[in-house]
Amino acid sequence: MSFLERTTLLLGAEKMQRLSAAHVLIVGTGGVGAYAAEMICRAGVGTLTLVDADCVSPSNINRQLIALHSTIGQSKVEVLATRLRDINPDVTLHLRQEFLTADSAAQLIFDGHFDFVVDAIDTIQPKVALLATCLKERVRVVSSMGAGAKTDISSIQFSDIWQTYHCGLSKSVRSGLTKAGLKGRKLPVVFSAQQADRNALLAVEGERNKKTTAGTISYMPATFGCYLAQYVLEKL
């Protein structure tokens, strides 16, 4: 019995063939991206490329699928790959443990021939670079906005980037896309309409492309990831 029997019953054989033939890029495999990757893998997508430079740290354990005391210090993409192969031994995985730059993001999209891109990056410069490249090259993409400093699961929704509100990350992305000459270009995102708790934001120094860190609760990033997976699976 195939582990996809019940998914096939719901979606049909033709859709399952499309999912099996699809190649999805997921950039960022932390609190949001790992959940998106697992849901996409469990649905039968045949090929995934996973990109993340980070290793698991103790502060990840409160919200990240791959973060356990036993995985501290290990590469996030490697830990996630082990999990995904245990779900679907036939999945094809391409792993890149690297921090994206504007140049490498563009090259990744040019070389990858992806059917869909999932942006789960939490730092602004590589996020905008990836999104700008996808928009310019007309590669299908869905992006996660900020899940930190928020607690209301019912406030999570799909939107266009230009219609989001109460989201500092969205504002920064809009600014970056405007500077890239992409103002008004449609970009599907997942965001929370809840106002962020300002008391849960902390200024940080010495982190690459990051000025603040936010308090988080276990279920918010996970739900963002599931929303991303839903969008991808519906569109493939």
The pLDDT confidence band at residue 191, using thresholds 50, 70 and 90, is very high
Could you give the angle at the alpha carbon of 151 between the alpha carbons of 29 and 42, nearest 5°? Answer: 35
Distances (CA, A) of 185 to 31, 45, 114, 138, 176: 27, 28, 20, 11, 12
- What's the pTM? 0.96
How far apart CA 40 and CA 36 sit, in angstroms, is 6
**What pLDDT is stored for residue 71 in this prediction?**
98
pLDDT at residue 209 is higher than 60: no
pLDDT for 121 beyond 80: yes
pLDDT in tens, 4-50: 999 999 999 999 999 999 999 999 999 999 999 999 999 999 999 99
Assigned CATH class of 5-235: alpha beta
The predicted pLDDT at position 109 comes to 96
Domain ranges of the chain: 5-235
